[in-house]
Every structure is written in C-alpha cells, then in structure tokens.
C-alpha cells in the first residue's frame, strides 16, 4: 500500500508540500461543499439562508432577554454565529478527518496535512457564504464601517491559521484515540454558551475578565470587533498570536513524531 510510505521528509516538509497543492485542496473543498447540496434548488446558498434564519430568530429573542437594542445586538450576534460555525465545525470535524480519509491515506502517496487543509478551506468557503448575511445586516441596520474594519483581513488570517494547527492536532489525536470524537461532541455545545457568541463580554452582569480565560473568546473577537467597526484590544492580538506560534510549534513536534503512524491508526 503506497499510503503506508507517505511523502518523505519531516512534518514541516509535509505541511509545505500540502500548501504547494493548496489549489487542489481549495478545489476539493469547493467540490465537497457543492456535493452536500447536489440536486437542491439553492445549492450552497442554503448555508446563507440557514444562517439568516438563525440570526433573525435568535436576534429577536436574545435582544429581549439581555435588554440590548436590536440594532446593536443583531450585528454582534450575526458576526458571532458565523465565526462560531468555523470554530465548532473545524474542531468537531477534524477529530475524524484522518479516519474518514483512511482509504486514501493507505493507497495514495499524499502529504497528510492536505486533509486538515481541505477541511479548513471548506470552512473558509462556508464563511464567505455566510458573510453575505452580515453584509445585509450592515446595510439594513447601518452598522458603522470605519478604518478599523480593515483589520478584519488580518483577523480572518489569524483565525484560519489557528484553525489549521488545531485541525491537524485534533485530527492526529482523533486517529489515535477514537473517543475524542464523542468527547468533543459533548463539549462543543457547552463551549457555545461559555463563549461570547450570543453576547459580548460587556453585556455580562459579572466581571467580564472571566470570559477572556476562554481561548475561543479571543479567536471570536479578533474577527468580530473589526466587523463591528472597532479595533480589538491589544491583548486579543497578543493571545491569538501566542496561540498561533505555540500551537504550531507543539503540533509540528507531535506531527513529526507521529506522522508515519497515522496510516496504521486509521
């Protein structure tokens, strides 16, 4: 089986080989998105419609519960939901990414990182679909667009670079320990409520500093703040950059050690 002897070299070489084939990964990610909605009338636009329905329903309900003006709450909620879909989707699906690609891994000589990369790029495609909902909210509710809005570009880059190492690390753990899939399925709904998705830290009736102990809060705010026309706090960038550097270092060490074992795990 050719897949048992993957492309030679270190884990870093595997990652670089996958990035060089990024156009292939992006094509596969887009094809995977279309395949999920084959023979439907709207196709991938069902993603956009589903997000729009969720925003309308949750926006009216939670703005009343939190006593926040709808014109302020709904843009924040919309941004939070589309970012959370990226976080939750990448984390939960990555636990089975190598297992589901087991036949490919065992029979084709491909870099292993190409599979997490395809997953992350697919969620990037979904994210761009859902941004249409946020643009509509900006127009309807006159959300301010400032120079700080341009910070959404580095924010998105930081978000997806972090998702890449998380997908690779969780993918390896999920291939070795199959219980990871069920553990994450139980934890993700809990994390939804302890992460600032439906609310902003400033909405909380207690010390909002507690919410920053959750790393996901920083990944959400590094993109949401610019979408709302404000600059994220400096410590958000510091935390996200720290996660990016330390996360990739730890993941590459683990990947370099366990890379040749993945084909046997799946």
4 domain-assigned:
no
Tell me the pLDDT tens digit for each residue of 165-204: 999 999 999 999 999 999 999 999 999 988 888 877 766 6
251 domain-assigned:
yes
236 domain-assigned:
yes
37 domain-assigned:
no
How many domains does the chain divide into? Answer: 1
Q: According to the per-residue pLDDT averaged within each range, which of 29-38, 198-207, 240-249 is highest?
A: 240-249
Note if the pTM is more than 0.85. Answer: yes
138 domain-assigned:
yes
90 domain-assigned:
yes
Q: How many CB atoms lie within 10 A of CB 165?
A: 24
- For every residue of 184-241, DSSP letters joined together read HHHHHHHHHHHTTTSS-GGG-SS-GGGGGGSHHHHHHHHHHHHHTTSPPPHHHHHHHH
Domain of residue 28 covers 22-32+42-261
Q: By the 8 A CB rule, do 181 and 174 touch?
A: yes
Q: Of the candidates 19, 17, 11, which has an alpha carbon nearest to the alpha carbon of residue 249?
A: 11
7 domain-assigned:
no
87 domain-assigned:
yes
């Amino acid at each position: 089986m050719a897949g048992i002897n993957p492309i030679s070299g270190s884990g870093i070489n595997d990652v670089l080989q996958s990035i060089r084939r990024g156009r292939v990964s992006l094509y596969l990610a887009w094809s995977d998105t279309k395949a999920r909605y084959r023979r439907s009338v709207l196709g991938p636009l069902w993603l956009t419609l589903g997000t729009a329905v969720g925003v309308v329903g949750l926006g009216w309900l939670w703005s009343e519960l939190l006593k926040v003006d709808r014109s302020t709450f709904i843009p924040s909620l919309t941004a939070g939901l589309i970012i959370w879909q990226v976080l939750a989707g990448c984390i939960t699906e990555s636990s089975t990414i190598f297992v589901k690609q087991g036949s490919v891994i065992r029979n084709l000589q491909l870099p292993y990182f190409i599979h997490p990369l395809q997953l992350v790029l697919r969620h990037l495609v979904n994210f761009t679909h859902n941004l249409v909902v946020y643009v509509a909210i900006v127009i309807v509710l006159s959300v301010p667009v400032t120079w700080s809005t341009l910070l959404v570009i580095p924010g998105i880059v930081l978000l997806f670079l972090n998702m890449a190492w998380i997908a690779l690390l969780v993918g390896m753990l999920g291939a070795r320990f199959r219980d990871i899939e069920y553990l994450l399925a139980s934890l993700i709904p809990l994390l939804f409520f302890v992460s600032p998705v439906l609310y902003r830290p400033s909405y909380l009736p207690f010390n909002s500093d507690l919410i920053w102990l959750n790393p996901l809060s920083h990944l959400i705010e590094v993109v949401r703040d610019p979408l709302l026309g404000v600059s994220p706090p400096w410590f958000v960038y510091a935390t996200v950059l720290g996660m990016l550097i330390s996360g990739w270092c730890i993941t590459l060490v683990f990947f370099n050690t366990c890379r040749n074992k993945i084909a046997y795990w799946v």
